[in-house]
Amino acid sequence: METESNSIRVTGWTKATPSEAVERLEAYIKQRGSCKGFYRHFDSLYMDFHFVSAEVADQVKADLDRKRVLEGINVKCIIIEGKNVQKRNELEAKMKKYLDEQSKVDQREFIIQLRSMILEHPQDAFQLLQMYPQIGYAINHFMQNMQK
């Protein structure tokens, strides 16, 4: 399952001590070489691993799901949504609501102003789009509405 999160939560249980199970899981994940950080939750016997990309997180999750048992440890793995993904989804929902409230005239005016800015000041427009990728979302939303 493709996801945009680069983090997974791995729960492990075994007859060994909790710290031993966590250490084995940590060693296994570190062998993968793409883990950029983790957090241990000894009370709940799980660890959150943060990888360099969502693809790596998906690969590790799939690998652990296939194995189910890793060096004597029963494992369960879930993708946890990163805070950035949650924040982006919330912002997109707010923006969609705001954009839906705009009239067709306002939407066209926005597109015209943005187009003139791109033609007159391409470098500024490029920097603006890099800083605020939501503008691309707004343009796409407006264009879809104009085609209806």
Q: Is the pTM of this model over 0.85?
A: no
Mean pLDDT (the chain, rounded): 74
Residue 49 has pLDDT above 60, yes or no: yes
77 C-beta neighbours (distance < 10 Å), count:
21
Residue 43 has pLDDT above 80, yes or no: no
Share of the chain above pLDDT 70, in %: 70
Q: How far is CA 91 from the centre of its chain?
A: 14
For every residue of the chain, DSSP letters joined together read ---S--EEEEEEE-SS-HHHHHHHHHHHHHHTS-EEEEEEETTTTEEEEEESSHHHHHHHHHHHHHHSEETTEEEEEEEE--HHHHHHHHHHHHHHHHHHHS-HHHHHHHHHHHHHHHHH-HHHHHHHHHH-THHHHHHHHHHHHHH-
Fold held by 7-81: Alpha-Beta Plaits (3.30.70)
Residue 96 has pLDDT above 60, yes or no: yes
For the chain, the domains span 7-81, 88-147
